[in-house]
């Protein structure tokens, strides 16, 4: 009887890479009413009243504020939606995105 050769099982591991994340940034302007900015933050980014007010004040004082971090598609969609809400009311409210480092 000949000896049986046992070969080790080879398995291929697929390494999934997380999608790159993007920051949504609120840019301050001197025309959009604070209350409107808070309303947009609550509606588009699902923030509570306190958080939205704090974010709006940070952008007001520093010129810009990171709102949230999402995958690229979500970040761009939310930034566009929030900017469009301002544009519909005639405000220069602007949200932008950039890759998270």
Number of domains in the chain: 1
Q: Enumerate residue ranges in the chain where pLDDT < 50.
A: none
C-alpha distances in Å from residue 17, one per residue of 14, 21, 27, 50, 69: 9, 12, 31, 35, 17
Residue 5 lies in a domain: no
Vertex 95: Cα angle to 37 and 87 (nearest 5): 65
Beta bridge partners of 24: 68, 97
Residue 56 is predicted with a pLDDT of 97
82: domain CATH number is 3.30.1390.10
Residue pair 55/94 in contact by the 8 Å Cβ criterion? no
- For residue range 17-41, what is the model confidence (pLDDT) as tens digits? 888 999 999 999 999 999 999 999 9
Which letter does DSSP use for residue 31 in this model? S
Domain range for 53 is: 19-97
Residue 100 is predicted with a pLDDT of 92
Residue 16 is predicted with a pLDDT of 83
């Amino acid at each position: 009887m000949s000896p049986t050769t046992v070969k080790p099982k080879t398995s291929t591991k697929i390494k999934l890479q997380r999608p790159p994340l993007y920051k949504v940034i609120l840019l301050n302007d001197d025309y959009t009413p604070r209350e409107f900015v808070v309303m947009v933050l609550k509606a588009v980014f699902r923030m509570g009243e306190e958080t939205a007010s704090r974010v709006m004040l940070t952008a007001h004082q520093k010129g810009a504020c990171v709102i949230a971090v999402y995958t690229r598609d979500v970040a761009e969609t939310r930034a566009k939606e929030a900017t469009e809400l301002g544009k519909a009311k005639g405000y220069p409210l602007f949200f932008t995105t950039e890759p998270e480092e």
